[in-house]
């Protein structure tokens, strides 16, 4: 089991750093805050609770923060809302390390019990929640979710970044994930990259932008992407973001058999970019003053 050493983030919650992927699991600005803003809020859970039941698909469950923030959001408004959750995670040691007392105490006691059960038994059942954690490559486990005819009202899409983990940002993987999205459901991801957005569109989804909060760095233009099948009530892309999708940065990653390695997917992508006639992304950056 890799030794997962907790690293503090700016809101006082902890994240891990993956040596294998060369990246932290969360934004340095706040791991817990990111789970609420970019996933629970972005998928409109507070509106969705009116129905009395919610189905969640947590792609790349990791420490379980996105599931935990969603459950807290839902039950703060309606404590008897029924929830079904599928979490997909490659490495069981991550959720297991995340239930250490110092880390898990940021959540309510009810949610702590759920995170513990998911990490140790891979499932939790009571009168209000049915949750299952599927351990394995999400490219395969998502097919089990689809076979159950699971239709998620919210999908939290949270892999490591496209350059580090391209296998989970391909058109083909998004097609699999989209089959698990309810007609009125929403998928949220922190990525605002043009390649991710065009892969979502090619997989049949409509996209919008997660708007920036008041304080943000000058080079930022969005907090991520929100997608749905019908496109209704999505925050629109700015003209700058729309033009980004016409540049070489918008060439999507592909994985035709859903089995390629990261290196194979990156090499295929680099070749397609070299051969492309699309506008270069640096000229788009110059035009919009992005440095």
Binding site for ligand SAM (CB under 6 A): 25, 35, 60-63, 65-66, 88-91, 94, 137-138, 158-160, 165, 167-168
Smallest distance from ligand SAM to CB 226, Å: 16
Q: Which is nearer to ligand SAM, 115 or 181 (CB)?
A: 115
Residue nearest to ligand SAM (CB): 62
Output 62 or 252, the one with its CB closest to ligand SAM. 62
> Cα 1–174–61 angle (5° rounding)?
30
Helix-, strand-, coil-residue percentages of the chain, each rounded to 5:
40, 20, 40
Task: Please report how close the Cβ of residue 164 comes to ligand SAM at its closest, in angstroms.
Answer: 9
Bridge partner list, 150: none
- Residue 41: what are its φ and ψ, rounded to 5°? -70, -45
Nearer to ligand SAM, 28 or 287 (CB): 28
Q: Which is nearer to ligand SAM, 169 or 284 (CB)?
A: 169
The least distance separating ligand SAM from the CB of residue 69, rounded to whole angstroms, comes to 8
Q: How far is CA 289 from the centre of its chain?
A: 29
Pairing of strands 82-89, 129-135: parallel
Q: How far is the CB of 107 from ligand SAM (least distance, A)?
A: 12
CB of 268 to ligand SAM, least distance (A): 17
Rounded-to-integer distance, Cα 146 and Cα 155, Å = 13
241 vs 255, beta carbon nearer ligand SAM: 255
Tell whether the torsion through CA atoms of 107, 210, 42 and 187 is positive or negative: negative
Pairing of strands 14-15, 7-8: antiparallel
Whether the CB-CB separation of 210 and 38 falls below 8 Å is answered with yes
């Amino acid at each position: 089991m890799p030794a997962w050493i907790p690293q503090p983030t700016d809101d006082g919650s902890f994240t891990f750093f993956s040596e294998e992927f060369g990246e932290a699991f969360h934004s340095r600005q706040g791991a817990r805050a990111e789970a609420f803003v970019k996933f629970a809020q972005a998928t409109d859970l507070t509106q969705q609770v009116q129905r009395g039941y919610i189905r969640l698909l947590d792609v790349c469950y990791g420490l379980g923060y996105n599931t935990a923030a969603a459950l807290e959001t839902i039950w703060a408004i309606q404590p008897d809302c029924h929830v079904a959750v599928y979490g997909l995670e490659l490495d069981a040691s991550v959720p297991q390390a995340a239930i250490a007392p110092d880390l898990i105490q940021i959540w309510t006691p009810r949610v702590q019990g759920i995170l513990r059960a998911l990490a140790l038994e891979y499932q939790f059942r009571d009168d209000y929640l049915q949750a299952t954690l599927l351990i394995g490559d999400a490219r395969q486990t998502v097919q089990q979710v689809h076979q159950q005819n699971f239709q998620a009202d919210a999908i939290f899409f949270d892999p490591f970044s496209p350059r580090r983990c391209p296998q989970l940002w391909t058109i083909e993987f998004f097609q699999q994930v989209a089959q698990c999205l309810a007609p009125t459901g929403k998928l949220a991801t922190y990525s605002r990259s043009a390649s991710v957005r065009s892969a979502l569109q090619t997989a049949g989804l409509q996209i919008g932008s997660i708007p920036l909060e008041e304080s943000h760095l000058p080079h930022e233009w969005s907090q991520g992407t929100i997608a749905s099948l019908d496109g209704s009530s999505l925050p629109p892309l700015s003209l700058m973001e729309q033009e980004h999708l016409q540049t070489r940065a918008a060439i999507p990653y592909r994985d035709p058999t859903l089995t390629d390695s990261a290196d194979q997917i990156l090499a295929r992508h680099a070749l397609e970019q070299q051969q492309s006639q699309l506008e270069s992304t640096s000229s788009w950056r110059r035009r919009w003053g992005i440095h």
